[in-house]
Structure 1
Amino acid sequence: MKKFALSALFVASILAAPAVAKDPSAPKAATSTKAAAVYKVQPQLSTLGWVGKKVTGQHNGTIQFKSGDVEVKGNQITGGTFLIDMNSLKVEDLKDAEYAGKLVGHLRSDDFFSIEKNPTSTFKITKITPIKGAAADANNATVTGNLTIKGITKPISFPAKIGVKNGVAAASGTATIDRTQFDIKYGSKSFFESIGDKAIDNDFTLSFNVIAKQ
């Protein structure tokens, strides 16, 4: 939790900068024709948290970024690719080591993420759309991209707050993901109608704070 708090404060300081994308009706800056600079994701400063819900409750934990590149033009983020280390998956809400270990083992199995066969997941940004009239402390862009889990690639979109300042690019937000699109069907009422109170929600969320530097 300490790492999450420190990362959130660091991200907040960067996101006080102007929005990543200007109003499309505004004149383009002279630097817009230059090639994008590549900023490197800082895994030690970045965080990725997950939440999965079921009828009887929920579980939460963390995963770590392995590496990544963020493309920047001027003070605008224009793209990026992120590699996620699935072997770093942890459960945080279960304090009993035995129960936590059993859940991690199940999540690693073919019922869920098949981590032994698919040790990494990736996300590649394909489009960033400004949110017009966004408040200074609110999400200022919609990020669209291709997410790959278990070797299956699907497009997703989510709101985020992003910005660039003093050689640092930052992004924070929450993405909602339908696990069944990635062949993770265990406990889903969409495929097992009679499962009752053992059902697990199709959607899970990933909350992120990403820091990248030149």
Structure 2
Amino acid sequence: MIRQDYAAGLKVLHWVIAALIFFMLYLGWTMGGIENVVEKIQAYNLHKSLGFTILALMVLRVLWRAFTATPPEPATMSGLEKLGAALAHLALYGLVFLIVLSGWALISTSDKPSLLFGQPFPLLPWFVALGPDEKKSIHHALEEVHEFAAFGLAGVIGLHVLATIWHVIRRDGIWSRMAPRFLGGGVAVAFAVTAGGAVALLGAHDARASEWSVDPQKSAIAFEANGSGFVTKGTFKTFKSEVEFDPSLPEQTSVRVLIDVKSVDTGQSDVDQTLLSPDFFDPARFPTAEFVASGAKPAGKGKYVLEGRLTLKGVAKPVSLPFTIATTNGAASVKGETIIDRLEFGVGPKSVAGYAVEKDVKLSIDLAALKLTN
């Protein structure tokens, strides 16, 4: 006997993916306007993580559909209507895959840090291997593709909702094939109208903030530790950053830096190995350190202070970072340093091999950045 509706599992997949896509479209068009830097970063990483989730669910759905019989269309549908429905579904599937894959490629070509549900985002090797200029060029093109596909998907979803309302009014059984069994026709119409209104409102908000692109090749994040007359200096070779800054509006400054602690380099292999041990940075459990701050306070000509939060080894503590910035023709040089108590973060013991190690560690930044234009 041929099924008259889809399997329960496919229905669940359909509505879960639909809900995620609606939320993702809304988030994609509103997260750029979030003022609180921590909430903004969380929104971006949630957007990226849910995009990856949608990709996995869509692959599962395609495979499931490939091995599951599809309920037949009602005899009342004309050949033209069936062709239109097939093309609309093809467009829906194609645009969803285009959005999530272009988003993944955007993450892989970006110099900004990204997390997948709290862990470093897996990057596409082909894009990672590109040079800085190639990445920048491809990244811009991918942004256009991603945005175009998002608007296209919103439009196709709008048509899909209108078609659903039409089938409910005709009572031809199309809606019931995918509808949860507890939903009646009246509820279906209300849901479809509400969803259609949501799609129409999604494009009403599109805010972007000007940003600065930090060049890791010309920048450095360094530290200096002292103990028993010895000085250990090192840098972190790999980091990503997001910087928004306007000298005329310092209160709107937002900064985020994500550091790969495995990239620590002191020039001494034995020291590097010690720093990568569980007693110190423990990258096996805590692969990244993060600094997040919003709102810079003026402290004199070209001088500011960032009040932020440093997360290291899973411990978050407030950190004040004084810095200076000099800008010329869209280029900026940023220098700053601060002192942290490493013991507060659980980094290292009080002494190593019988030598006392001071708890205070100096952190310094020396960044070269270019202003991005929208």
Normalising by structure 2, we get a TM-score of 0.40
Counterparts of residues 141-160 of structure 1 (less than 5 Å) = 141-160=304-323
User: Which residue in the other structure is 2:262 paired with?
Assistant: 87
Alpha-carbon distance, 1:57 to partner? 1.5
The gaps in structure 2 that reach 5 residues or longer are 1-206
Of the three residues 262, 269, 278, the one matched with 1:101 is 269
User: Which residue in the other structure is 2:281 paired with?
Assistant: 113
CA contact (8 A) 1:86 1:115 kept: yes
User: Which residue in the other structure is 1:209 paired with?
Assistant: 366
Alpha-carbon distance in 2 for matches of 1:106, 1:196: 12
The verdict on how the C-alpha distance between 1:56 and 1:72 changes in structure 2, with shifts beyond 3 A counting, is closer
CA contact (8 A) 1:144 1:158 kept: yes
The verdict on how the C-alpha distance between 1:147 and 1:57 changes in structure 2, with shifts beyond 3 A counting, is same
Alpha-carbon distance, 1:155 to partner? 0.7
Determine helix, strand or coil for the equivalent of 1:201: coil
Counterparts of residues 25-40 of structure 1 (less than 5 Å) = 36-40=209-213
Alpha-carbon distance in 2 for matches of 1:209, 1:159: 12
CA contact (8 A) 2:238 2:259 kept: yes
1:169-200 CA deviation, whole Å, 9 max, x = no partner?
Answer: 33102111111111124125xxxxxx996211
Residue 225 of structure 2 corresponds to residue 52 of structure 1: yes
Alpha-carbon distance in 2 for matches of 1:76, 1:171: 17
How many residues are aligned here? 163
Determine helix, strand or coil for the equivalent of 2:282: coil
Alpha-carbon distance in 2 for matches of 1:106, 1:113: 9
- Greater relative contact order (Cα < 8 A, sep 6+): 1
User: Which residue in the other structure is 1:64 paired with?
Assistant: 237
The verdict on how the C-alpha distance between 1:36 and 1:111 changes in structure 2, with shifts beyond 3 A counting, is same
Alpha-carbon distance, 1:71 to partner? 0.6
Alpha-carbon distance in 1 for matches of 2:316, 2:286: 13
CA contact (8 A) 2:237 2:265 kept: no
CA contact (8 A) 2:222 2:233 kept: yes
Alpha-carbon distance, 1:166 to partner? 2.2
Normalising by structure 1, we get a TM-score of 0.68
Counterparts of residues 176-187 of structure 1 (less than 5 Å) = 176-187=339-350
Runs of 4+ aligned residues of structure 1 deviating over 3 Å after TM superposition are 73-77
Determine helix, strand or coil for the equivalent of 2:245: strand
Alpha-carbon distance in 1 for matches of 2:248, 2:239: 25
1:4-45 CA deviation, whole Å, 9 max, x = no partner?
Answer: xxxxxxxxxxxxxxxxxxxxxxxxxxxxxx963122221111
CA contact (8 A) 2:308 2:321 kept: no
Larger Cα Rg: Structure 1 or Structure 2?
2
